[in-house]
Amino acid sequence: MKIFLRLVFTMLMLSIFPDDLISQTRDVTVTIHLRGVYESKISILGLNNSRVFKPIVEVDGIKNGQTATMIVRKEHLPGEFVMRFEYKELVSSTPYPSEKNLIINQQNLELWVSPIYCNNSDSSYFQKDEIENSTFLAFSMENSGKKEKLSVLQNFLMSYDDPQSAFYQMGIAEYEQRRMDFNGWLAGQTLKDRKLFVSSTYSYQFLPQIPWLGTETDRITSMIEHYFDGIDFSDPLLIRTSFINKWMDNYVNLYGQMATTAALRDSLFPLAGKRAIEKSKNGNPLVYGWMVDYFYRGYESNGISAGIAILQPYLDDPNCLTSKKQEIERRLKGIETLVPGSLAPPIVMHDSNDEPFDLYKTKSVARFTLLIFWSGDCSHCKELTDQLYSWQQQAEVVKDVMVVAISLDELDTEIAAWQKKKADYKQWKHLRAPDGVRSKVADDYYVLATPVMILIDPSTMKIVALPNTLAELKDAVKKYRP
């Protein structure tokens, strides 16, 4: 059996998954009144497990003066989103993109917007009683004003040429007083807005103490040691915005300032990861998992093998809910809904001959459609598919079963093996999902490993059976044979 997610067995051994503390009880409606352009496609993008904004809902062909209603499902909420417009200013114009950040929590939103000026408050605005985005805008404006004054003092202290002077000492005292006042104001804003999602982003503005009388290295070291002072790692909402990415990038850059050679970099960056992960370890498992994901991606992209090595104990920790573990959990729960009698999810893609394929529209004389998810370089798959093809090509069985074989191969070597092997199964309909186990079709059918077989009644599009072996498939077909 080919396992696409290495953590499957780890997760199967866990008897209890922590409740998702950030899920909501209902979907949210976003109503957009379009104006100022001829036409636009509108998409709402949310953060996926890799912390990349991906479309979660979209509508096309919305014209000037028309209204679009979009549903954001509860599993995505609350969170930070991007509303993307691909608009045509005139009927003859080429589509042009624009984007607007927005926060969605429990409140249905209504937005009047001109895509050309989507970030101008006089051209694009929410309903009068909108809470989250209005609160965050007010906070950002006040925060910016306070930070600007602190930045002036900070620049003075960084560049003044006589740190022993009384004038410099006065500057330190003034900065410290303003820093403490700012952090006090920040704590007050967080308490005041504690029932709002946006309050979880305020802590990223916290200002740690800086030892102005020390060397530059002393200052960086102090900032590193106190970087996480204002953060509550038990708050799972911390990871629902892109702010945490920028905040962690700044943390890693502090180590980068001290890495004068590649060798020093390769020793400092693993230390950065270990320190940050240990800080988050006793917090919410989702935040802990996010932190491990963040450093794993960084170490992998920069080829820092020592960093990847220090992550292994955390990856093996069942309390560390990395994106892979979360995906496995979601699919394990989803598998429970994919049962005989349930409707088979639609499949719309191109086959191996680049011809359009639609599961619901495919005509067949056979009484059943068999979906088989497989891989060309999976020995267990090839053993099953060889036996399956031999049996299915028998005259009496061809009338019973039409086979749609869906490859989840991604690597060049895997695809080559699939191309070679599928030639042995000429009578089957062959598809390949380019993104493998991360593809929409694998996601819709909650596929974690190959091979997987699903027997469908094409007249009702309902699942008849989910056989694990050829023997079970034969029994299912025999059971429903007239």
**What are 394-437's pLDDT values in tens digits?**
988 988 999 999 999 888 888 999 999 999 999 999 999 988 88
371-394 per-position pLDDT tens digit = 999 998 888 899 999 999 999 999
pLDDT at residue 93, rounded to an integer = 94
Q: Is it the case that residue 94 has pLDDT exceeding 50?
A: yes
Q: Please indicate whether residue 68 or residue 123 has the higher confidence score (pLDDT).
A: 68
| Pairing of the two strands 401-407 and 368-374 | parallel
Q: Report the relative pairing of strands 401-407 and 429-432 from DSSP bridges.
A: parallel
Give me the pLDDT at residue 50, please.
62
- Pick the residue with more confidence: 12 or 52? 52
Q: What is the pLDDT of residue 14?
A: 37
Mean per-residue pLDDT over the chain, rounded: 89
% of the chain at pLDDT higher than 70: 94
Structure tokens at 271: 């230390």
- One DSSP character per residue, 8-76 reads HHHHHT-S-PPP-TT--SS-EEEEEEE-SSSEEEEEEEEE-TTS-EEEEEEEEEEETT-EEEEEE-GGG
pLDDT digits 0-9 by tens, 198-233: 999 999 999 988 888 878 888 888 889 999 998 999
Answer with the residue of higher pLDDT: 150 or 6: 150
Q: Which pLDDT belongs to residue 260? A: 81
Quick one: pLDDT at residue 90? 95
Domains of the chain in sequence order: 28-126 (2.60.40.180), 132-327 (no CATH), 333-479 (3.40.30.10)
User: How far, in Å, CA of 270 to CA of 266, rounded?
Assistant: 7
Question: Are the beta carbons of 111 and 30 closer than 8 angstroms?
Answer: yes
- How is residue 95 annotated by DSSP? P
Do 15 and 461 meet the contact criterion of CB atoms below 8 Å apart? no
Q: What average pLDDT does the segment 56-76 reach?
A: 94
* Cα gap 324→301, rounded to integer Å: 18
The mean per-residue pLDDT over the stretch 345-358 comes to 91
Per-residue pLDDT band for 245 (boundaries 50, 70, 90) equals very high
Token reading at 267 = 């020793």
Instruction: Give the per-residue pLDDT at 5.
Output: 39
> What's the token pair of residue 342?
């349930």
Render pLDDT for 283-326 as a digit per residue (tens, 0 to 9).
Answer: 999 999 999 999 998 888 888 888 989 999 999 899 999 987 87
Rounded CA separation 322/160 (Å): 45
Q: Are 136 and 201 contacting, i.e. CB atoms less than 8 angstroms apart?
A: yes
- Cα dist. 306→263, 290, 297, 445 in Å? 11, 19, 13, 37
d(CA 89, CA 147): 38
105-132 pLDDT tens trace: 999 999 999 999 999 988 899 999 999 9
* Cβ 442 vs Cβ 431: under 8 Å: no
Rg from Cα positions in the chain: 28
pLDDT at res. 232: 93
Q: Does residue 327 surpass a pLDDT of 80? A: no
Cβ 462 vs Cβ 456: under 8 Å: yes
- pTM for this predicted structure: 0.71
Residue 103, pLDDT above cutoff 90: yes
